[in-house]
Structure 1
Amino acid sequence: MKKLILFSFVMACALLGFAQDTTQRVVAGRKNSAAQQQKPYVILISADGFRYDYADKYNAEHLLAFGKEGVHSSSMIPVLPSSTYPNHYAMATGLYPAHNGIVQNIFYDRKLKRYYDSGEKKETQNPIWYGGTPIWVLAEQQQMLAANFYWVGSNTPIKNTYSTYYYPHNEKISIHDRIQDVVNWLKLPAEKRPHLITFYLPPVDNAGHDFGPNSQQVIDAVHNVDSTVYELDKAVKATGLNVNFIFVSDHGMGQPDTEHPLPTPSALDTSKFIISGDRMVVELIAKNPADIQPTYQGLKKEGGDYDVYLRDNIPAHLHRSTADDKFNRIGDILLLPHWPKLFNIYNRKLDKGQHGYDPAVVKDVHAIFFAWGPAFKQHLQIGAFPNVDIYPLVAEVLGLKITEKVDGSSELARMVLK
């Protein structure tokens, strides 16, 4: 009987996705061109949920030293919503969400008549959702090899292209093995060696959600990431290569009022709308366009601890208006709760720590930026800048030609590069 119970548990775990794929993918037949073999190297590290002030606040000594050695910013400004998938893909493409298609962690597409859900593997690996040209695709198009150790979109053949080396996202590979894989990549022969490597670290975000940004668990997670980056830097230096490091996060973390979420407004008939998003950014897609205006007027009249916008009058700094909406995925009506309030339309258990708010209003959602290595100026502090500028910065360091219009500017690269 015990054997039967154990077997049933193992089978259930497999069916629920606990059996994770840890196999490295390698696209055969590629090599760096002779010209690209002479180019610099970049390791782009994302520490999910690492708030702009965590390094100082919690004394991340190694990161502070790297930032002092090279460049650090007062903060980096995420896109709206200040959530994981929109911000990782904004940095990867240099495009705002309405221009690259990944407008929320979970959103509805009117044409496809289905949801993109960051928790659904099948959807996240479907290239139909992704616009723009991710930086690793740009590199591969120009015969420069790239490697991804987890990044939004890296498991997907965007423009029919994967990076030469990549891993499906999983939690099974230890951090020491991940660092060793980076070293192994950099020890490959010049024609097979990736010049761009992305590296993703989730512990700070996980701790922030579960325990809040002021918790001991977040302090421990910050020190964990600090040690990891130090070990990665040390291991990479041992290869003898002069590698450039860029350390960023997708967003910060706040602690809003999760005990008293805003009720669903009485002016909103949920049977008439498809709801895209929740909590900090609620987007309403009308099943019948005739319901848009009266619902909007009713929400405005009802008032409350939130702002209401039509897609035509969304503030310009949010880059989500009708004119911006290249993929027709932005809601007809947008609800933005006032800090520290939030919605809970789906009545889910709310994490203690939250993000997603407008970064122009809530500083706690701002991200971090440090950079060091031979390409970067030394002992330089800069002000806040939009995260879409990461794309042209990486392209400039690697000597890649940007082949399509992006929202990021070259201003950051001009300020921080030698």
Structure 2
Amino acid sequence: MKQGLQFLLLIFSLTVFAQKGNVDTTQIVIPNRYNSVEAQTKPYVIMISTDGFRYDYAKKYNTENLLKFSNEGVQAKAMIPSYPSITFPNHWSLITGLYPSHHGLIDNFFYDYKRKENYAMSDRTNAEDGNWYGGIPLWGLAEKQGMVSASLMWVGSASDAGGTRPTYYYPYHEKFSPSEKVDKVINWLKLPMDKRPHFISLYFPEVDGSGHHFGPDTKETEDAVHLIDNAIGELTKKVNDLGLKNVNFVFVSDHGMIKVDGGNPLEIPSMLLNKDKFDIYNSQTLLRVYVKNPADVKSTYKELKANKTEDYEVFLDKKLPKYLHFGTKDDRYNRIGQILLLPKAPKIFLEKGKKTSVGKHGYNPRIVPEMKATFLAWGPEFKNNLVIDEFANINVYPLVAEILGLKIDQPIDGKLKVLKEVLKK
């Protein structure tokens, strides 16, 4: 692929995801950590997330490597993101096995009324403060059980969420090309056995960036898909050349992408613009409303319901479909809000004077198929030539823990039985 195109894709990667301020690109290493004797005998798992890699992209754009590897291993018809189908919530669900309402990362941007603080994914101070994140990430589970881990830019991996950072990690930035990331993973796997990570999490933003800026059905997005496909091919070849035994690959994404109707956006109901009564949080594919006076919730809901258009639904949080796990009973951190306005795809809510992107995500993945994500896996632990049905992304966590021989010692939402069939033993 031409260097100019690769540079373009990096420039257009999801800019709001890049942490603000100057970011040091130097690797951070936690000293005095070693694999236990038992951990040194365990398999390796490289868990790769390609942001915004829709469930059908591998076939739609005829990827050479991903189709080959998944045909030899395991592929799901689709993976169902947790609701809302947004980047930070779903990366944290994949890495903790918890729904967003249970781990607390309910959106890319939100307010915590107990802490009286805003969380913004673009704020490095937030992103690296583990107190915002519930659950035990896979790297934390590994480290606590004597297994060294490493992470390249996965959401939350530069924080002390769960009490333990990976042994090797980087603060988030988008200065490394996919090929450079591949080389860093290989360098980790070249370390001596006692220092070599057995769990590695790796993140690529390019496909999401092109989907947002150009839309999912464009040459730019196709090029981004092939850019990552080439990197996966390079990674797999270089790993095989190392001659390590039992290296397994899990390729996932956080959500899909759809072209939205940005030219005819929905107006936010005028009554909600009263800042004395309401706080509103608009991700454009979901509008959350916090009613400051609890006594006004029912009347506000009734008025919104009576005046809504056919292009969106209005829900009390306790009346949201239970399968979304995003209602009152699930809101452990009281961050969601009492009233939710859900636009019907491809409609979005947009404040006057604001702009939007061509492609977006965040809709209910059970209703909007374009929101569905990807799950592919290959390696010695996985069965061959297996296609499985759709499943919820919270179930990836117990699968990876099982391969690594890690004991899950805290409650999670995911169940091993959902994906147990993909393993050889």
What range is the shorter-chain TM-score in?
Answer: over 0.9
- Establish whether residue 138 from structure 1 lines up as the match of residue 141 from structure 2: yes
Secondary structure of the 2:250 match is: strand
> Which of 320, 324, 332 does residue 318 from structure 1 map onto?
324
- Establish whether residue 162 from structure 1 lines up as the match of residue 168 from structure 2: no
Return closer, same or farther for 1:53/1:415 CA change in 2, 3 Å cut-off. Answer: same
Residue 123 of structure 1 deviates from its aligned partner by 1.1
Checking the alignment, whether the CA contact within 8 Å between 2:30 and 2:168 is kept in structure 1 is yes
Question: CA offsets per residue over residues 146-191 of structure 1, 9 Å max, x none?
Answer: 0001111101011331100001111222333321211111111111
Equivalent in the alignment of 2:239: 236
Equivalent in the alignment of 1:147: 150
Residue 63 of structure 1 deviates from its aligned partner by 0.5
Equivalent in the alignment of 1:348: 354
Equivalent in the alignment of 2:343: 337
Equivalent in the alignment of 2:74: 71
Question: CA offsets per residue over residues 114-148 of structure 1, 9 Å max, x none?
Answer: 21111111111112211000011000010101000
Partners of 2:354 and 2:288 in 1: CA distance: 17
Equivalent in the alignment of 1:413: 419
Checking the alignment, whether the CA contact within 8 Å between 1:48 and 1:249 is kept in structure 2 is yes
Aligned ranges for residues 19-418 of structure 1 at < 5 Å? 19-241=22-244, 242-271=246-275, 272-304=277-309, 305-345=311-351, 347-418=353-424
Letter in 2 for 1:154: S
Partners of 1:269 and 1:209 in 2: CA distance: 27
Letter in 2 for 1:266: S
Checking the alignment, whether the CA contact within 8 Å between 2:20 and 2:122 is kept in structure 1 is no
Partners of 1:347 and 1:122 in 2: CA distance: 29
Question: CA offsets per residue over residues 207-254 of structure 1, 9 Å max, x none?
Answer: 000000011000100110100000000111111113100001100100
Partners of 1:360 and 1:274 in 2: CA distance: 28
Letter in 1 for 2:200: I
Partners of 1:177 and 1:339 in 2: CA distance: 37
Partners of 1:131 and 1:75 in 2: CA distance: 26
Partners of 1:203 and 1:48 in 2: CA distance: 7
5+ residue gaps, structure 1: 1-15
Equivalent in the alignment of 1:12: none
Partners of 1:137 and 1:404 in 2: CA distance: 12
Q: Which moved more, 1:266-275 or 1:352-361?
A: 266-275
Partners of 2:111 and 2:266 in 1: CA distance: 23
Partners of 1:139 and 1:347 in 2: CA distance: 47
Q: Which moved more, 1:193-202 or 1:301-310?
A: 301-310
Checking the alignment, whether the CA contact within 8 Å between 1:104 and 1:277 is kept in structure 2 is no
Return closer, same or farther for 1:105/1:347 CA change in 2, 3 Å cut-off. Answer: farther
Partners of 1:277 and 1:261 in 2: CA distance: 13
Letter in 2 for 1:393: L
Checking the alignment, whether the CA contact within 8 Å between 1:267 and 1:302 is kept in structure 2 is no
- Over the aligned positions, Cα root-mean-square deviation in angstroms equals 1.3
**TM-score normalized by the length of structure 1:** 0.94
Work out the percentage of aligned pairs sharing the same amino acid.
50
Partners of 1:279 and 1:174 in 2: CA distance: 30
Partners of 1:326 and 1:300 in 2: CA distance: 26
Checking the alignment, whether the CA contact within 8 Å between 2:109 and 2:120 is kept in structure 1 is yes
Partners of 1:155 and 1:109 in 2: CA distance: 21
Letter in 2 for 1:382: I
Secondary structure of the 1:46 match is: strand
5+ residue gaps, structure 2: 1-18
Q: Which moved more, 1:185-194 or 1:87-96?
A: 185-194
- Between the two proteins, the alignment pairs up a number of residues equal to 403
Secondary structure of the 1:268 match is: helix
Secondary structure of the 1:252 match is: coil
Partners of 1:270 and 1:356 in 2: CA distance: 25
Residue 408 of structure 1 deviates from its aligned partner by 0.6
Letter in 2 for 1:303: K
